[in-house]
């Protein structure tokens, strides 16, 4: 990429963007079962896109200069608080930023003797590890029940120390879509005088509609005694364009702990509710318009179809030889793994994922961790019901093909080689060449075969996986 000498026409640019996106996964249509959320109602996404564009150049940096931001944010955050048990909130750029602010508020609310700590179930999103990394906390990881995948309240209780500033529960946790026992965990936290954050990033704007549509959803929001903050992403089941989440605090004083102000320089005064300072109001406009375009009725209808699709999917997967659904999710997130293959029916889920990709579907592979086997994750959204039979057919076909192919074949000694690599002694080019030498193309193509990469990563401990992934990122951006 180089800066052109002369400016180019809009048509020319748009044509190039189309070309650049040629190998992207489709964001609409339901064949990509993670990352994207489709209502199946193009007019809603159109309204959001136009509102986003309308707010694009507005800078949320100074709310006194752009009062539209304050009004829109109050409406959006107010709607989230109304649905999720009240509180005062902040509109953020996503789940990670919402979590970051909740962790910052908890850290700043209490002096500790040692480094501040957080008790976090192993199924909680890495956003908590990232927040700990950025904000100087220690994570005390707590195992989950190996059958239900829900966090164990006694495990959380045992992890609380005098330096614990926050306890975490997920509603639901992403990997298996199950809701942690929020009331019990929050009760334990309250009894020990520790704040409790509910990560409802993926479920906050889904579970209430599922409940209204007849699903059995336990209480999980700010109305539960002991829950002190909650995150809810609007760019997930709110169906808003990316860059939209809300963090709510039960106590307005805690929200102030998330804020940042600086007058320690000779420039303009800085008041930030979020990590970012200057930022576009586009995502806020997009989220606001999505709420307005769908309304209660729209979300409830989406809740009904999503619930029906998830039920059909779970029942269908259970009938496919060699596969089993993990846990009993209350949400519409479904994970399935191999049934172990004792009868010869077992399938390698990483090969299954590649086989589905060849057939035009993206099914998200998840590595084994903390005793939870490798599996495939599907986020069922509003558009899934229309294609659930086709999805089940593809899963069955891909499972059959994976069974025939057998597990990903790793060149002998590859795992040991990767485990023992001195990454500091390798530059990005050498790493890329090494990967190519064992048949892994890091050049980026439309339909990568990932089974070997996933199998190697799966065989490594988490800290080694992380080092390799960072190098991988560096290589693809070289």
167-186 binders of ligand PLP (CB under 6 A) = 170, 174
Contact with ligand PLP (CB under 6 A) among 186, 189, 202, 380: 202
Q: Are strands 260-262 and 323-325 parallel, antiparallel or unpaired?
A: unpaired
| CB of 131 or CB of 435, closer to ligand PLP | 131
Q: Contact at 8 Å (CB) between 180 and 173?
A: yes
Task: Give me the least distance between CB of 205 and ligand PLP, in Å please.
Answer: 12
Q: Quick check: 94 binds ligand PLP (CB under 6 A)?
A: yes
Rounded to the nearest whole angstrom, what is the least distance from the CB of residue 436 to ligand PLP in the complex?
A: 30
Which CB sits closer to ligand PLP, 79 or 99? 99
Taking CB under 6 A as the rule, which mask of x and - marks residues 97-116 in contact with ligand PLP?
--x-----------------
Q: Does 45 help bind ligand PLP (rule: CB under 6 A)?
A: no
The packing angle between helices 388-405 and 282-318, to 10°, is 60
At closest approach, how far in Å is the CB of 143 from ligand PLP?
Answer: 18
Q: How many residues bind ligand PLP (CB under 6 A)?
A: 12
CB 106 within 8 A of CB 85: no
Residues in CB range of 82: below 8 A, 6 or more apart: none
- CB-wise, 51 or 168, nearer to ligand PLP? 168
Q: Does 140 bind ligand PLP (CB under 6 A)?
A: no
Non-local CB neighbours of 152 within 8 Å, separated by 6+ positions: 121, 142, 143, 144, 145
CB of 387 vs ligand PLP, minimal distance in Å: 22
- Show the site string, 419-458: x = touches ligand PLP by CB under 6 A, - = not: ----------------------------------------
**Least separation in angstroms between CB 202 and ligand PLP:** 4
Least Å distance, CB 341 to ligand PLP, is 29
Q: CB 98 → ligand PLP: shortest distance, Å?
A: 8
By beta-carbon proximity to ligand PLP, the closer residue of 209 and 431 is 209
Is 250 an interacting residue with respect to ligand PLP (CB under 6 A)?
no
Q: Cβ 135 to ligand PLP, closest distance in Å?
A: 16
The answer to the question of residue 290 lying near ligand PLP (CB under 6 A) is no
Q: Select from 201, 310, 367, 388 the one that contacts ligand PLP (CB under 6 A).
A: 201
In the complex, which residue's CB is closest to ligand PLP? 95
Give the pairing of strands 88-92 and 117-121.
Answer: unpaired
125 binds ligand PLP (CB under 6 A): yes
Stretch that binds ligand PLP, among 60-68, 94-102, 177-185, 272-280 (CB under 6 A): 94-102
For residue 329, state whether it binds ligand PLP (rule: CB under 6 A): no
Of the pair 8, 133, the CB lying nearest ligand PLP is at: 133
Per CB under 6 A, which region of 196-204, 261-269, 295-303, 425-433 contacts ligand PLP? 196-204
From candidates 40, 89, 95, 116, binder to ligand PLP by CB under 6 A: 95
- Smallest distance from ligand PLP to CB 156, Å: 17
In angstroms, rounded to a whole number, what is the distance separating the alpha carbons of residues 382 and 42? 12
Residue 127 found at the interface with ligand PLP (CB under 6 A): yes
Q: Which is nearer to ligand PLP, 242 or 257 (CB)?
A: 242
Q: Residue 163: name the closest of 198, 132, 125 by CA.
A: 132
Name the site residues for ligand PLP (rule: CB under 6 A).
Answer: 94-96, 99, 125, 127, 170, 174, 199, 201-202, 233
């Amino acid at each position: 990429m180089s800066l052109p000498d002369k400016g180019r026409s809009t048509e020319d640019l748009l044509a190039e963007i189309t070309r650049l996106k040629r190998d992207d996964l489709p964001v609409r249509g339901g064949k990509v079962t993670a990352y994207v959320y489709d209502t199946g109602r193009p007019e809603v996404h159109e309204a959001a896109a136009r509102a986003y564009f309308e707010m694009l150049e507005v800078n949320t940096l100074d709310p006194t200069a752009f009062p539209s931001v304050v009004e829109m944010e109050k409406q959006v955050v107010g709607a989230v608080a109304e649905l999720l048990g009240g509180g005062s909130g902040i509109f953020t750029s996503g789940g990670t930023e919402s979590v970051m602010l909740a962790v910052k508020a908890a850290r700043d609310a209490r002096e500790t003797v040692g480094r501040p700590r957080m008790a976090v179930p192993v199924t909680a999103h890495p956003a908590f590890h990232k927040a700990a990394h950025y904000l100087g906390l220690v994570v005390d990881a707590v195992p989950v029940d190996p059958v239900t995948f829900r966090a164990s309240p006694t495990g959380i209780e045992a992890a609380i120390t005098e330096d614990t500033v926050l306890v975490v529960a997920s509603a639901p946790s992403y990997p298996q879509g199950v809701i942690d026992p929020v009331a019990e965990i929050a009760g334990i936290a309250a009894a020990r005088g520790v704040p409790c954050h509910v990560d409802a990033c993926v479920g906050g704007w889904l579970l209430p509609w599922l409940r209204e549509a007849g699903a059995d959803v336990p209480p999980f929001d700010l109305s539960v005694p002991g829950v002190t903050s909650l995150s809810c992403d609007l760019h997930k089941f709110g169906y808003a364009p990316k860059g939209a989440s809300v963090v709510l605090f039960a106590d307005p004083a805690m929200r102030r702990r998330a804020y940042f102000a600086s007058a320690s320089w000779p420039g303009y005064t800085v008041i930030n509710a979020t990590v970012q300072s200057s930022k576009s109001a586009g995502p806020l406009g997009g989220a606001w318009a999505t709420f307005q375009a769908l309304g209660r009725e729209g979300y409830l209808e989406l809740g009904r179809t999503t619930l029906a699709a998830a039920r059909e999917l779970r029942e269908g997967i259970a009938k496919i030889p060699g596969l089993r659904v993990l846990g009993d999710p209350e949400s519409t997130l479904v994970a399935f793994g191999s049934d172990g293959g004792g009868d010869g029916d077992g399938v390698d889920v990483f090969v299954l994922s590649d086989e589905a990709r060849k057939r035009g579907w993206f099914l998200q592979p998840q590595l084994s961790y903390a005793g939870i086997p490798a599996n495939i994750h599907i986020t069922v959204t509003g558009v899934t019901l229309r294609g659930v039979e086709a999805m089940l057919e593809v899963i069955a076909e891909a499972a059959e093909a994976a069974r025939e192919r057998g597990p990903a074949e790793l060149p002998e000694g590859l795992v040991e080689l990767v485990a023992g690599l001195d990454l500091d002694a390798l530059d990005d080019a050498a790493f890329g060449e090494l990967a190519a030498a064992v048949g892994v193309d890091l050049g980026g193509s439309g339909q990568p075969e990932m089974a070997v990469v996933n199998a190697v990563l799966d065989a490594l401990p988490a800290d080694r996986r992380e080092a390799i992934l960072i190098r991988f990122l560096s290589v693809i951006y070289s």
